[in-house]
Amino acid sequence: MRLQEFLTEAPVRPAPIQPEGTPVVDQGIENLKAALSLKIKDLPPDASTAKALQEIEELLSHVNAGGRMGIVQGELAKIEDPSVRSAQKLLAKYVLALNATPQQRQEMFAMWQADKLIDIEVLLGIGKHAIKDIVRGYNSNPAIRELADDLFGIAALGQGKGEFALSVMSKRINKRSQTEGGDLLIAGRKVEVKTKDLGAARFYDQNVRPSQQWPATVEAFKTKYAEAIKGLGLTATTGLKLMDMMNIAISLPEQQKEIRKDIYAVISNIFPGMDVNNIVDYTVAGNINAAKAYYAGVNFDFYMSQKDDDGVLYIDLAPGKNAQSWMVYYRNAAELAQSGLRLHASTVYPVSKDPRMAYPQMSIVSTKQPPQDNIA
């Protein structure tokens, strides 16, 4: 007989008078049983009552497992994933807080243990995908949906938002070691993760930097065009934006060839070894949108040339609503264009004392232009 049937059908009788010499019955236990039976009989026959009884039954079936925390930790241990093991206490707290039935949690654990929560093929396929497309069971199981929403919103184990969620939700997604560099190993592929949360990420790190000659070209540019900078009301304290360089070029039409050479010297040293002619040509011609589009493309290509990554996984976390968050995996601008997307660079400071400012924050936005080159 199931717990619900036993408790709801158990008769409630007054404690009988025990004959002398009869073994003493613990009336406290009997009274507790009677009280529980009455309480459960008074509960409305709805989904909430059924859920509560299921949870009581689940706890009693694991009476020696250390309570609910012990049950959850036992299920997490069965996943046999180093990432899950490292974050077991944290994950257990999130699982315990799920507003779900035991059956929904059991289905979630079964899929988790079988490594079926994350659809790797969709994750690494061409196109823009919502979290609900990546996480199997997101639309059908409230436990899976709530867990995914929770985990994609936190950073842990030295991993950023999104990156941590993927590494603990699939055995085939693992954090790469410091010696390996990069972020994740996904089904054997080395993947860099760029997450847009409060702000977009930069394609810049200790391996992606300007040449040693760049600071000298920056100072030479500021000195040579100091008069034009002052005349345009610009300040070189923070640095000069790409648009500032464009305006300086426009203000000196008689020096077009010379200023092109000087702009080229600055930008070519930001991306050593890369072809930056399109960036320079559009800057001198006064087409800032095209110049920034090429700048974004060259920045990405330069970044990838310094890495051994297979590609980049971009995760855009919608504030407060993970159901609207999305991600895209890409290896070049053409793959982004196939997905109707392109790189978008924020403010660019080619002239700066801080090399980080020469590599702008970059997000991915929709585009209707055909895939032709870095201007998508």
**Residue-wise DSSP of 345-376:** E----SEESSGGGGS-EEEEEE--S-S-SS--
Q: What is the pLDDT of residue 279?
A: 97
Strands 311-316 and 239-240: unpaired
Span 346-351, mean pLDDT?
94
Amino acid at 61: S
Average pLDDT in the 327-333 region? 92
Nearest-angstrom CA–CA distance, 259 and 98: 62
| Contact yes or no for 262/370 (Cβ under 8 A) | no
What's the whole-model pTM score?
0.75
pLDDT, greater one: 59 or 33: 33
Name the token pair of 69.
């925390």
What stretches of 114-207 show up as alpha helix (H) in DSSP? 120-123, 131-134, 142-151, 163-169
- How much is the pLDDT for 325? 87
pLDDT digits (tens, 9 = 90+) for 3-22: 454 444 445 455 555 555 55
The pLDDT of residue 207: 82
pLDDT tens digit sequence for 218-229: 999 999 999 999
Residue 58 has pLDDT above 50, yes or no: no
- Give the model's pLDDT for residue 183: 87
Percent of the chain with pLDDT over 90: 57
Query: How high is the pLDDT of residue 370?
Result: 46
Given a cut of 50, whether residue 311 has pLDDT beyond it is: yes
Who contacts 208 (Cβ-Cβ below 8 Å, separation ≥6)? 302, 303, 306, 359
Q: For 104, list phi and psi in degrees, rounded to 5.
A: -65, -40
Q: Which one has a higher pLDDT value, 36 or 337?
A: 337
pLDDT digits (tens, 9 = 90+) for 242-267: 999 999 999 999 999 999 999 999 99
Pairwise CA distance, residues 281 & 259, whole Å = 11
Residue 130 tokens read as 């919502």
What pLDDT, on the 0 to 100 scale, is given for residue 235? Answer: 74
- 26-55 pLDDT per residue, tens: 555 566 555 555 555 566 666 665 555 455
Mean pLDDT of the chain: 83
User: Mind listing the pLDDT tens digit for each residue in 153-173?
Assistant: 899 988 989 999 999 999 999
Mean pLDDT of the region 129-145? 95
What was the pLDDT predicted at 261? 97
Every domain of the chain and the residues it spans? 3-13+27-59, 64-187, 214-366
The predicted structure's pLDDT at residue 72: 82
pLDDT at residue 213 tops 70: yes
The pLDDT score that the predictor gives to residue 339 is: 87
